[in-house]
A = this chain, B = another copy of it.
Amino acid sequence: LEKMEIEAVPFTFDGKPGAIPPGPFDLAFSLGGDGTVLYAARAMAPLGVPILPINLGTLGFIAAVHPEEWNSVFEHLLRGSVPLSQRLMLEAWVERDGKSVATASCLNDVVVSSSGIAKIIRLHVKGEKIRLGNYRSDGLIAATPTGSTAYSVAAGGPIVDPEMEAVIISPICPFSLSNRPMVVPADEAIIVEVEAEQRSEVLLTMDGQIVEPLEPGDTVRISRAPFKAQLIASDREVFYRVLHSKLNWSGGPDA
């Protein structure tokens, strides 16, 4: 379901990962699940094009418009009465030997993790003004609020309101009793240094879709993207509703 085959604009656009459509567009329809919206956001957010995420599979956090509803949403949209949910996106720059070798943006998360057999990797993490320290773990997730319900929550991170300007830093299986997920402001760049000594391959993954191998000594600089994803009919109220229905959020047995 969640394959990347789907992308549409007025009627004729058929997107594939990597092929960034030229535009100009007024609106992008995302037909698929949350994964499709992630792809659409990376393609459309730099162009300032809002996305109408129609959900073709099971209920999604960001693909929240049911196929039967889209017509009605679209008409409201034409009349200008549908608010846009502005969502923080992140950029990651990889620096190697003093040069930038790769960069990309994402709506959910930037993950630095080991590949192959689960093995501890060694990262040093800091902000521009703050020191977080060494991480000995299977990896590290830097998630947007939109991504707080994805991989980050599985790693033990908090749920963060989707329209906040914050980044959640969650270690993956830290070899420490005293590590905790951390929430920092979106305007603090996070610098992840891949230490020189590693016993496992290290990968950079963005939105679970873009994968770059990293080398010992690399630095990944994660900061707010200069653009936002603009989601139609997928606002905060929807987010909290999906939290209950999809993740079984519950305060207690009779809740």
Q: List residues of chain A with CB under 8 Å of any chain B CB.
A: 58, 111, 113, 115-120, 122-123, 125, 129-139, 151, 153-161, 163-164, 166, 168, 171-185, 188, 203, 205, 208, 211, 236-237, 240-241, 244, 246-255
Contacts and interface: CB of A to CB of B under 8 A. Distances in A.
Nearest to A244: B133
A229 to B, nearest CB: 18
B161 A164 contact: no
A154 B138 contact: yes
Nearest to A203: B117
Contacts of A168: 158
13 contacts: A118-B208, A138-B154, A154-B174, A154-B175, A158-B183, A163-B185, A172-B173, A173-B173, A176-B248, A177-B247, A177-B250, A178-B178, A179-B252
As for how many copies of this chain the complex holds, the number is: 4
A88 to B, nearest CB: 12
B252 A176 contact: yes
Contacts of A113: 118
Contacts of A211: 117
B180 A153 contact: yes
Given A131-B244, A134-B252, A158-B183, 5 more contacts: A125-B251, A133-B250, A136-B251, A176-B250, A178-B249
Q: Which 9 A-B pairs have the closest CB atoms?
A: A136-B252, A177-B178, A134-B255, A178-B178, A135-B251, A154-B173, A158-B181, A160-B183, A134-B251
A119 B139 CA distance: 13
Contacts of A182: 158-161
